[in-house]
Amino acid sequence: MSASHTKPPSATDWARLQAMTDDDIDFSDDPERDAHFLAQAVIWPGPKKQITLRIDADVLGYFREQGRGYQTLINRVLRKYVEAQKNRA
């Protein structure tokens, strides 16, 4: 195997990191997670499911015209619809 197919060695000083205690870690750029933060947090829905879905050609065309990530956009639109329906109930 040639060298171009291997990963370069890590530049991380793993021994130093393993020797660190919690008090050694600088959390100054990581704010506290207070009630306000948690109220705005997004609950991760879990892994996605791969399916086959029949969509009208013009609808699919519209989303594809939006460019890269159009499938994620379709998922977001469907999620907003589901949330709106839940809020109506």
**What's the pLDDT score for residue 46?**
87
CB-based contacts of 84: which residues, under 8 Å, 6+ apart? none
| Overall pTM surpassing 0.85 (yes/no) | no
Is it the case that residue 89 has pLDDT exceeding 90?
Answer: no
pLDDT digit string, tens, across residues 31-78? 888 898 888 888 888 899 999 999 999 999 999 999 999 999 999 999
**Residue 25 Cα to chain centre, angstroms:** 25
- Give mean pLDDT, residues 21-30: 90
**What's the pLDDT score for residue 74?**
97
Is it the case that residue 23 has pLDDT exceeding 80?
Answer: yes
